[in-house]
Amino acid sequence: MLSANNHEKNLKFDVRYPAETIEAMRHHLLGYRDNMRVEVETDIAVTAKTVADLRALATWPDGLALNIHVDLDPRLSVVRVERAS
């Protein structure tokens, strides 16, 4: 039997994907809501507020990664665009 704590952990997760190309970025975002919030690390030449904005980009800088946090409360879910390190 799952405790409430374990059950809650199963409903929140973080994944990190390398997104070296625009095709890879779009592939990693399959299945995520268009209106999911996006945060972009400072000094990255990407302008997007939602996943739909990311999918619509015509260009994608090299060396980036997507850090995706999914929460039971959709308002707390976010895609972070970061430098891959």
- What confidence tens digit (pLDDT) does each residue in 40-59 have? 999 999 999 999 999 999 99
Question: Binning pLDDT at 50, 70 and 90, where does residue 33 land?
Answer: very high
Domain limits for position 31 = 4-83
- Cα–Cα distance between 56 and 3 in angstroms, integer? 41
Paired residues of 65 in beta bridges: 18, 82
Q: State the total domains in the chain.
A: 1
DSSP per-residue letters across the chain? ---HHHHHHHT-EEEEEEE-SHHHHHHHTTTS-TT-EEEE-TT-----SBHHHHHT-S---SSEEEEEEE-SSGGG-EEEEEE--
Which residue do the tokens 């995706």 mark? 68
- What confidence tens digit (pLDDT) does each residue in 53-80 have? 999 999 999 999 999 999 988 999 999 9
